[in-house]
Structure 1
């Protein structure tokens, strides 16, 4: 491929540049970063679905009029970001929100002894309401906007481990209460039913004492020390799509963060 084909030509990215610029993803960046932003936008707008095989490097390079090396670098970063997965001899696929991915990317509570497990969940309540000041601030939406409030208990080996409060902007999750059951893997639900991919999460940890609600559902004494994990889940377009407060028993578990 000639050097001219390695540079962005006028009009080559016009439609997708608009999509990416609207999401605030483009600016003065290396070409591979701009290509990455355009490909991420394909996942964000649903053109590339979870579990779907994507075109190969050569096809994408031909379509976007850039070098294969540029595409390879963009796809490599997307793989590191857990947005894509390469399967030997089969190609590259959009990552799906299976239990294994959630366990190792988003669930950090680990037994002091033994292997990690994906917890079961029981929905305690699902209600709609107007966002209060704290919810509006956490989700970056106006106070009073409609939200869903989901409370569930999570267990390992039938032992209560976590009480979880999830707040979602209702405009992005219409008719959530129409589901017969809310699945254990809610990130899979967000992706498959609402086209919302959780790309990353920002968490804050602190020690708290169990309140009456925690004590009742975790079967622990009132005031018992718990680990509170305050999470803002962020979509591909950098929009906060979920606020989650998890209060966790840590008598036999710890929070594992693998820093690299």
Structure 2
């Protein structure tokens, strides 16, 4: 079992307080310690964390402070609380992705995870938009994955994903699974924690329309998403063209 020394600064407030230290509450400092351990792979997706009491003793703070840090991490879907069992590192399973990241819902029916068919995978120099989204330099390469996604018999999404080739070596060598976020976490130790999306109404160009089986000029919802990992690094740019005649974008504001 790996042992960790306390990682809160020696000037931290006494246990049982939430004093402001360095302009950050103590529980936020504890959260930073725990998130850093997730980034470093100390705990894997699906693995149980030590108990609140163990973490509190190890880090040198009160159990209530640890609980407050874990509550905030649970609200951000980084960990999962299970009654009577403890706290676990969140996994990118389909229910979580549906709730947190996939927002297109059929007009008639419940949310469901879309089926996917990969069109092609290429490694190429990042274009200007990919450089801006992923913080890359001219000449850096990306793996670009194009796929069609469906919520039923007919395709509804044409999706282009771009990831830094340096972060995902070998990604193009084997089958690309439907659930890419689980692959990122399981094979590469990169957990997608947040995403920022920009939405815009567009008309489909002829090539895009052909792949989706509709007429050129058909209206579509364009979703431009940049996903970031636990440490804030941009790891994926995802451009989705969505048909919304029989589906809608659903966002739960909390």
TM over 0.5: yes
Pick from 55, 58, 65 the counterpart of residue 60 of structure 2. Answer: 65
Question: Is this contact kept in 1: 2:106–2:151, CA < 8 A?
Answer: no
Question: Is this contact kept in 1: 2:200–2:222, CA < 8 A?
Answer: yes
**How far, CA to CA, are the matches of 2:199 and 2:245 in structure 1?**
16
Pick from 176, 180, 188 the counterpart of residue 182 of structure 2. Answer: 188
Aligned to 2:225: 231
Aligned to 1:20: none
Aligned to 1:142: 137
Counting only pairs closer than 5 Å after superposition, residues 24-173 of structure 1 correspond to structure 2 as: 28-173=23-168
CA gap 1:9/1:196 in 2 versus in 1, 3 angstroms: closer
- Segments of 5+ residues of structure 1 without an aligned counterpart are 1-7, 13-25
**How far, CA to CA, are the matches of 1:45 and 1:189 in structure 2?**
17
**Is structure 2 residue 252 aligned with structure 1 residue 249?**
no
Aligned to 1:10: 10
**How far, CA to CA, are the matches of 1:212 and 1:150 in structure 2?**
20
Q: What per-residue deviation string (whole Å, max 9, x for no partner) do you get for residues 233-252 of structure 1?
A: 01111111000100000001
Shift of 1:70: 0.6
Question: Is this contact kept in 1: 2:141–2:164, CA < 8 A?
Answer: yes
- Segments of 5+ residues of structure 2 without an aligned counterpart are 1-7, 13-20
Question: Is this contact kept in 2: 1:132–1:144, CA < 8 A?
Answer: no
**How far, CA to CA, are the matches of 1:160 and 1:235 in structure 2?**
29
**How far, CA to CA, are the matches of 1:157 and 1:64 in structure 2?**
50
Question: More displaced, 41-50 or 58-67?
Answer: 41-50
**How far, CA to CA, are the matches of 2:51 and 2:135 in structure 1?**
37
Shift of 1:199: 0.5
Aligned to 2:16: none
Shift of 1:226: 0.3
> Aligned-residue CA RMSD in angstroms?
1.5
Q: What per-residue deviation string (whole Å, max 9, x for no partner) do you get for residues 98-153 of structure 1?
A: 11111111000011121111100001000001112221011111121011000000
Q: What per-residue deviation string (whole Å, max 9, x for no partner) do you get for residues 199-257 of structure 1?
A: 01000000011112211111010010000000000111111100010000000111011
Shift of 1:59: 0.2
Pick from 172, 176, 193 the counterpart of residue 171 of structure 2. Answer: 176
* SS of alignment partner, residue 177 of structure 2: coil
**How far, CA to CA, are the matches of 2:172 and 2:238 in structure 1?**
18
